[in-house]
Amino acid sequence: MGQLAAFIVLSIVTLAAAVVVVGSGNIVRSALSLIPTFLGITGIYILLQAEFVAGIQVLIYAGAITVLILFVIMLTEHGSGVRFRQVNEQVPLGMIVAGALAAFLIATFVTTAWPTSSGALPQYTASGVGTTFMTNMVLVFEATSLVLLVALIGAIVIARRER
Amino acid sequence: MVSWPLEILKAIGLAAVIFTFLAVVAAMFGVLLERKIGGWIQSRLGPKHVGPQGLFQTLADTLKLLQKEHIQPRAADRAIFNAAPLIVAVAGLMSWVVIPFGTLGERVLVVRDLNIGIVFFAGMASMTVIGILAGGWSSNNKYSLLGGLRSASQMVSYELPLGMALVAVAMEAGTLSTVGIVRAQDGWFGSFVFRQFPAFVIFLIAATAEVNRVPFDLPEAESELVAGYFSEYTGMRFALFQLGEYGEMFAMAAMTATLFFGGWKGPILPPLVWFLLKMYVVVFFLMWVRWTYPRYRLDQLLNLSWKVLLPAGLVWILITGYRITF
């Protein structure tokens, strides 16, 4: 009962903030509304007892990514004062695509047989996540690291184009 | 099963307790201490006239701030302008959830012993930036915006060394829980200030930068930026920014005591007294530095983070890993 109430409250927070993100005419408000969205999702992670993922979600998404986005907006000349429309003239087409996607997703969720009890929950997820990264998932982990490194070097190359 | 209404009531009660503790011990007493120590270091007397030895000076200041008119710039973004001080204050408050104050019999005095304790702490420290950035931007004042941007670049840079130091400590202790970390430290030489000395130095420098204090106080450099991101704030909203800032600073000091000085542990005196003693030693150190050293330049500040602290942190994590494994 309490879990259901918590889930509903968190969903409302997440969705209401998400509507502001895609609907607001002010880009800084859009960016700031990402924070309640991320925090709502964090709450859902906690409900699912994935506390390590929840902590990382706050640290990386709410703390770092949003700050980065805000930083970029505020450093752009006239970037933060412009009012703009987030919708164009393709409203009927967009509604059809969104409706189709929603129908597809809902159909998938309904028809999938979700395993509800696959063993006990691990007591301590942080070390479990770490062990998995270094054993079964080492290739994925290294490939992701490489992608991030390439992105980092690319950013430095673009930023240093003064000469 | 957990009883939800009871849990929510408990949470509200504890929030009130932490808020009171923070407002009294950290903000009010902290500001007084800051001014007294500042006076002592500069051969002045500091506040002296309100109450015995100026003890009620901050109380009087708070009462004055509470009465002040709340002024809002006409071109400010209303909602964000009003929300920003709340974000800073709440983030400063939330950091205290995972800090263990001591023991009472068998029970550890901590709001919640989260098993992701220090990740949660780092997350809350990073939430402060958003409040500062939002306040700086929404004031619609170039000095506020510059202060906000400086603070964002500084805090994002110093979050990494801070995280590195936390990772090294967590590796040595084998847990992310703050209570677990205190339990992992035994005796004088078992405390992590000896076993993790490089991590301690990195943490202390990064923590000073995270809470925007001298020598890293560029976001509010009064000689350049009026008052930085809170130039346009008046009355209680200004006080909330101050509360958040001092709350964050005391939380950093408390975290240093917990991670490196063995938290509540110590002989003879009760655990709570030991904890407060250790915390105030770190607070005193931060204030001592503030009144002694000049401010860094922005490029020096970023160089220190990216070229010194970050590589040092990575190397120390490698060494710690080697020591633990072999």
pLDDT over 80 (residue B95):
yes
Nearest residue of chain A to residue B116 (CA atoms): A52
B245 CA: distance to closest CA in chain A (Å): 17
For residue A100, name the pLDDT band (cuts at 50, 70, 90). very high
Inter-chain residue contact A67 with B176, CB threshold 8 Å: no
Structural Rg of chain B based on CA atoms: 20
User: How many percent of chain A have pLDDT more than 70?
Assistant: 85
B125 CA: distance to closest CA in chain A (Å): 8
Predicted confidence at residue B234, as pLDDT, reads 77
3-class secondary structure, B109: strand
Inter-chain residue contact B127 with A28, CB threshold 8 Å: no
Inter-chain residue contact B116 with A126, CB threshold 8 Å: yes
Q: Compute the count of residue pairs across chains A and B with CB atoms less than 8 Å apart.
A: 82
Mean pLDDT value across residues B219-224: 63
Interface test with A, best of B3, B9, B119 (most A CBs within 10 A): B119
For residue A16, name the pLDDT band (cuts at 50, 70, 90). very high
Predicted confidence at residue A117, as pLDDT, reads 66
Predicted confidence at residue A123, as pLDDT, reads 63
A115 CA: distance to closest CA in chain B (Å): 22
User: How many percent of chain B have pLDDT more than 70?
Assistant: 95
Dist CA A56 CA B175 (whole Å): 16
Predicted confidence at residue B92, as pLDDT, reads 83
For residue A15, name the pLDDT band (cuts at 50, 70, 90). very high
**CB B230, CB B135: distance < 8 Å:** yes
Dist CA B283 CA B20 (whole Å): 19
For residue A77, name the pLDDT band (cuts at 50, 70, 90). low
For residue A96, name the pLDDT band (cuts at 50, 70, 90). very high
Mean pLDDT value across residues B244-261: 86
Chain A residues close to B155, C-beta within 8 Å:
67
Report how far apart, in Å, the C-alpha atoms of B99 and of each of A24, A122, B22, B121, B254 are. Answer: 38, 25, 13, 9, 7
A36 reaches B (C-beta below 8 A): no
For residue B302, name the pLDDT band (cuts at 50, 70, 90). confident
Chain B residues close to A29, C-beta within 8 Å:
77, 79-80
Predicted confidence at residue B28, as pLDDT, reads 77
Chain B residues close to A70, C-beta within 8 Å:
130, 133-134, 137, 152
Nearest residue of chain B to residue A3 (CA atoms): B4
Dist CA B202 CA B166 (whole Å): 10
Inter-chain residue contact B152 with A71, CB threshold 8 Å: yes
Dist CA B21 CA B240 (whole Å): 15
Which of B24 and B246 is assigned the larger pLDDT?
B246
pLDDT over 70 (residue B120):
yes
Inter-chain residue contact A64 with B149, CB threshold 8 Å: no
Instruction: Report the mean per-residue pLDDT for chain A.
Output: 83
Predicted confidence at residue A24, as pLDDT, reads 78
Per residue in B254-277, pLDDT tens?
888 888 888 787 777 788 888 888
**CB B255, CB B110: distance < 8 Å:** no
pLDDT over 70 (residue B153):
yes
Among candidates A52, A63, A126 on the partner chain, residue whose Cβ is nearest the Cβ of B127: A63
